[in-house]
Amino acid sequence: MPTISDVAKLSGLSKATVSRVINNHPYIAKEKRERVEKAMKELGYVPNPSARRLRGSLTSTIGVIVPRIVNPFFSYLVNAIEQAAFKNNYQVLIFQSNENKDKEIYFLNLLKNRQVDGIVMTSIENDWDVIEPYTQYGPIVLCNEYLNKSNVPMVRLDQVKGAYIGTKHLIDKGHTKIAYCTGGLFAEDGKDKDRNKGYQQALEEAGLTLNPNWIFINKHTTEDGKKVMKQMMAMNDKPTAIFTGSDEIAAGVIIEAKEHGLKVPEDIAVIGFDDQPAAEMMEPKLTTIRQPINDLGEKSVEQLISLMNHKEAAVENVELPVELLVRDST
């Protein structure tokens, strides 16, 4: 592994000059620049990022923290971020927090140590109070997450509207008994609170009252969806439609419904969330809410880069629109 000194020696110039060539400084004699470049090529020289970082210069590297990479939503988001970063000559480090607080802290420390110039967080495990101190070492952008603190840049989706248009769509189809799944606890304040609001808003507007029996909390997976369907079938007063909160849950609901001879959407209408690839593979094809994942990634990177370049760039909050995709399950 050749170093800058090797290049200097081979080209018969000083380390300083070589460094200047590497970093595109002005005022270098054409002839010397070429000698350096030739030497670099000859030795297969590559600058050592550790040394650069240690020296204090920027690293052209940003980090992305995701909870679980196997979740398609996040793998698509990571991809979008990676593409956008690459366009801007940034390299991406991907971290999986596994919803673990300690791992999250570990990754944030990479900011402290200049391993990365900035971080995109697509989930938050720790309280903001413990994350906040890290912002002094470099910018942190919240992507798809949302906090009631004012000084954090956030890029996110209009979740209220997502749940609202989904529920509204079911109402427009004539449904009045609409079940609802949430990944959280259906609390005023907490996970998925925006979606809860959208759901309730649509109900209210239509003059429908919320039936607590039809609210399913802490649901995430296809298995959860199956369980939900089982529970609904055991009810005396059964819902005729369900807003599931994710395509996975929707899949479980549909599988279980068919298992028992129920027809979708005739007996039970189902609406998903995310528009994952599987949504189109199901039978019936799933009506769902599409989230502009690519925009989400792009805006986050833009935001981060501008923050990295001008320390005091305006902290901007971006809210992206979601979209209803009507297919065959409603």
| Beta strand 323-325 pairing with 288-290 | antiparallel
**271 forms bridges with which residues in the sheet?**
243, 287
Q: Closer to a copy of itself at the Cβ: 51 or 187? A: 51
According to CB under 7 A, which residues from 3 to 22 bind DNA? 3-5, 13-17, 19-20, 22
What type of residue is 197? Answer: K
Give the list of residues 6+ apart from residue 16 with CB closer than 8 angstroms, or none. Answer: none
Closest distance between a copy of itself and the C-beta of residue 125, in Å? 15
The reply to whether 48 sits near a copy of itself by the rule CB under 8 A is: yes
Residues within window 209-268 making contact with DNA, judged by CB under 7 A: none
Distance CA 248, CA 250 (A): 5
Q: From CA 86, how far away is CA 48, in angstroms rounded?
A: 20
213 interface partner picked from DNA, a copy of itself, none, CB below 5 to 8 A per type: none
Of the candidates 5, 41, 42, 46, which one interacts with a copy of itself according to CB under 8 A? 46
| Residues β-bridged to residue 178 | 241
Q: Give the Cα separation of 140 and 131 in Å (integer).
A: 9
Q: Per CB under 8 A, which of residues 135..194 are in contact with a copy of itself?
A: 137
* Shortest distance (Å) from residue 330 CB to a copy of itself: 17
Q: Which of 18, 35, 82, 305 binds a copy of itself (CB under 8 A)?
A: 82
**DSSP secondary structure letter of residue 208:** P
The SS3 call for residue 182 is coil
Place of tokens 């000859």: 42
Q: Pick from 15, 58, 60, 115 the residue near a copy of itself by CB under 8 A.
A: 115
Asked if 51 touches a copy of itself (CB under 8 A), the answer is: yes
Any contact of residue 187 with DNA (CB under 7 A)?
no
- Which CB sits closer to DNA, 57 or 98? 57
Map residues 195-234 to x or -, x wherever contact with a copy of itself holds by CB under 8 A: ---------------------------x------------
Judge contact between 317 and 153, C-beta under 8 A. yes
- Alpha-carbon distance of 196 to 211, in angstroms, equals 13
Which x/- pattern, by CB under 7 A, does the window 29-68 give for DNA? x-xx------------xxxx--xx-xxxx-----------
207 binds, among DNA, a copy of itself, none (CB under 5 to 8 A by kind): none
Class of residue 320 by CB neighbours under 10 A (exposed 0-12, middle 13-18, buried 19+): middle
Structural contact between residues 270 and 244, judged by C-beta atoms closer than 8 angstroms: yes
Taking the C-alpha atoms of residue 148 and residue 250, their distance in angstroms, rounded to an integer, is: 30
Closest approach, Cβ 36 to DNA, in A, equals 9
Phi-psi label, residue 216: left if phi above 0, alpha if psi -120 to 50, beta otherwise = beta
Nearest approach in angstroms of CB 61 to a copy of itself is 10
**Stretch of 9-17, 92-100, 181-189, 191-199 contacting a copy of itself, by CB under 8 A:** 92-100
The secondary structure element, H or E, covering residue 290 is: strand 288-290
Integer Cα distance of 192 and 323 in angstroms:
18
Binding site for DNA (CB under 7 A): 1, 3-5, 13-17, 19-20, 22-23, 26-29, 31-32, 45-48, 51-52, 54-57
Binding site for a copy of itself (CB under 8 A): 1, 46, 48-51, 53-54, 68-70, 72, 75-76, 78-79, 82, 91-94, 96, 106, 109-110, 112-115, 137, 222, 248, 251, 254-255, 258, 277-278, 280-283
